[in-house]
Amino acid sequence: MTPLTSTPQHQLRDLLTDVNVLEQHGSADVLVANLTLDSRQAAAGTAFFALRGVQADGHQFIGKAVDLGAGVVVCEELPAELSEQVTYVRVADSAEAMGHMAAAFYGHPSKQLKLVGVTGTNGKTTVATLMHKLFTARGYKAGMLSTVQNQIGEEVIPATHTTPDAIRLNELLARMVAARCTHAFMEVSSHSVVQHRVTGLHFAGGIFTNLTHDHLDYHGTFDNYIKAKKGFFDMLPASAFALTNADDKRGMVMLQNTRASKATYSMRSLATVRGRLIENSVEGLQLEVDGHEVQFRLIGVFNAYNLLAVYGAATLLGEEPEEVLTVLSGLTSAPGRFEPIVSPRKRVVGIVDYAHTPDALENVLTTIAEIRRPDQQVITVVGCGGNRDAAKRPVMAELACRLSDRAVLTSDNPRFEDPNEILKQMQAGVRPTDAGKYLTVPDRREAIKTACAIARPNDIVLVAGKGHEIYQEIQGQRTAFDDREVLREAYELLSL
Ligand SMILES: CC(=O)N[C@H]1[C@@H](OP(=O)(O)OP(=O)(O)OC[C@H]2O[C@@H](n3ccc(=O)[nH]c3=O)[C@H](O)[C@@H]2O)O[C@H](CO)[C@@H](O)[C@@H]1O[C@H](C)C(=O)N[C@@H](C)C(=O)N[C@H](CCC(=O)O)C(=O)O
Ligand SMILES: Nc1ncnc2c1ncn2[C@@H]1O[C@H](COP(=O)(O)OP(=O)(O)OP(=O)(O)O)[C@@H](O)[C@H]1O
Ligand SMILES: N[C@H](CCC[C@H](N)C(=O)O)C(=O)O
Ligand SMILES: [Mg+2]
């Protein structure tokens, strides 16, 4: 990975500038050589942050961190016994303090980049990836933090989260600065706002895509989920832009309390960025954007929104509108997001999409219904992951059968579950009237081949659920598996 220009080391005092310290034991004039939120990573010179988590309370591990050499402990509650060798800093919210201290520790890298955050239920990965591709094509060196991967210019760094924790996040941004990136584009998940992963960052802009029900297991209520997304716009500085989707029911709420300059995009009404749909087909989208008629390679109306968001943000960052549209017209989708793979001979249109929830699957299938010609059959291959929410299984199978001409039910990542059991639960959801529409093929490779064998020239084969994933996980073992590669294999085998 691109190295940092120097290993940061700071006096604790300098890291506390933006932190509201309630109580302090020990000196603020101690050197801090690294930061961690995991006691198991503590060593001499470490500042340990005790965070209250979902599974555990980091305060339980303060003793462990100190035993391993941590010299600073940031916490919400002081331990009963204090060590003479350690400086304890009590704050109201350790995660918030960690956001500010991580930013300071890495030299506020977000202030040295034009950092744009994207939030919303769907489209974050697509918009962040398109921004990165656009700015790279325009000759800038740019960074990206996304669900699929992180990037410093062309260098790829695997991602573990959509938005990493504040320490990792600031470290990655500092590496981008060291590599002379001028811009960075990142997804801001609702979890990251609530957990203060983005606290302390200086954004040049924020983008809102849309909001539907998701992650309620974590946020509890839809209102809390809206608040989490809005929290991102509330933290933007006056120098930033806040660009929202005016056609989404929650779009304007996002801007209610922001200090940033407000901008909107819309396909329906007057807005800062105006789009109009001219044509929407398997070949792509034809749109009028701010008076310019442009043909794009991306497919589906939802991508028209993503394109308007990207165009709007790029022009708000000072890019020339016509040049932006020229580059955008040639761009392809983010990996595994409505990614088309057309067979060379019979023009079978394979579409690989990460839809792994009922909502996403319905969205993808209705989008396909909008762009298909009457003579094109839709064949859907889908499975559901093991050791994950079982309630979605019957619903996804029902949707796949109802909204397609044919369906092949198969495995996703079975993990530690029996794939045949998962398939039985899926089958239970299929309406009796659709019983003749589907086949069950547990082996995913065989299932994709089966769908391709059924396909006639020009038919559409949707392969849903795994998108960009390049493995299949069975009994704790990950083996190489890429829906896109398997589709290509099937095309060859069947001379499609
Ligand atoms: C629900 C959630 O967000 N969990 C995140 C949270 O973990 P947690 O609350 O379970 O932590 P915990 O296990 O209770 O431990 C509490 C604290 O004690 C510490 N600890 C624990 C054990 C020990 O021995 N010593 C120790 O110090 C832990 O490091 C932690 O700081 O804090 C961890 C450290 O930052 C995250 O890695 C973890 O993400 C988990 C893996 C996760 O799956 N998160 C998902 C839900 C997530 O964040 N998703 C969003 C959105 C995805 C999208 O829709 O695109 C994302 O941004 O990725
Ligand atoms: N603007 C949009 N509106 C609705 N659906 C979208 C939009 N953009 C992409 N999609 C579809 O939604 C799914 C997720 O897209 P994407 O990965 O870009 O979103 P995300 O917000 O990053 O999601 P995640 O939280 O899973 O990382 C895909 O199935 C994609 O085809
Ligand atoms: N972040 C989600 C992705 C699911 C993707 C699907 N392919 C599966 O493995 O279930 C999860 O881990 O639940
Ligand atoms: Mg994402």
Choose the residue to mutate in 40, 51, 93, 169 for probing ligand 1, maximizing ligand atoms within 8 Å of C-beta. Answer: 51
Q: What is the ipTM of this complex?
A: 0.96
Rounded to the nearest integer, the mean pLDDT of the chain is: 96
- Ligand 2 pocket (Cβ < 6 Å) reads 122-126, 147, 162, 187, 209-210, 302, 305-306, 334, 337-338, 353-355, 360, 363-364
Instruction: State residue 489's pLDDT score.
Output: 98
Check the annotation: does 206 bind a ligand.
no
**What pLDDT shows up at residue 411?**
98
β-strand pairing of 438-440 with 406-411: parallel
Per residue in 127-154, pLDDT tens?
999 999 999 999 999 999 999 999 999 9
Q: What pTM value is reported for the model? A: 0.93
Tell me how far the alpha carbon of residue 82 lies from the centroid of ligand 1, in angstroms.
Answer: 27
The residue whose CB lies within 8 Å of the most ligand 3 atoms, and thus the one to mutate among 388, 415, 422, 469, is 388
Q: Which ligand is nearest to the CA of 191?
A: 1
Residues of the chain with pLDDT under 50: none
CA distances, 26 to each of 46, 96, 138, 204, 380 (Å): 15, 21, 51, 37, 63
Tell me if 114 is assigned to a ligand binding site. no
pLDDT value of position 5: 67
CATH topology assigned to domain 10-105: 3.40.1390
Q: 339-494 has which fold? A: Protein-Tyrosine Phosphatase; Chain A (3.90.190)
Atom of ligand 2 at shortest range from CA of 129: 18
User: Going by CA atoms, what residue is nearest to atom 3 of ligand 1?
Assistant: 191
Atom of ligand 2 nearest to the CA of 120: 21
To the question of whether residue 158 is assigned a binding role by annotation, the answer is no
Residues with CB under 5 A from ligand 4 (ion): 124-125, 147, 162
The full set of domain ranges for the chain reads 10-105, 109-328, 339-494
Cβ 388 under 6 angstroms from ligand 3: yes
Is 162 labeled as ligand-binding? Answer: yes
Atom of ligand 2 nearest to the CA of 147: 27
Domain made up of 109-328: CATH architecture: 3-Layer(aba) Sandwich (3.40)
Whole-angstrom distance, CA of residue 466 vs CA of residue 339? 12
Q: pLDDT tens digits, residue range 346-388?
A: 999 999 999 998 988 999 999 999 999 999 999 999 999 999 8
Lining ligand 1 with CB less than 6 A are 37-40, 51, 53-56, 58, 61, 147, 161-163, 165, 189, 191-192, 218
153 close to 142: Cβ distance less than 8 angstroms: yes
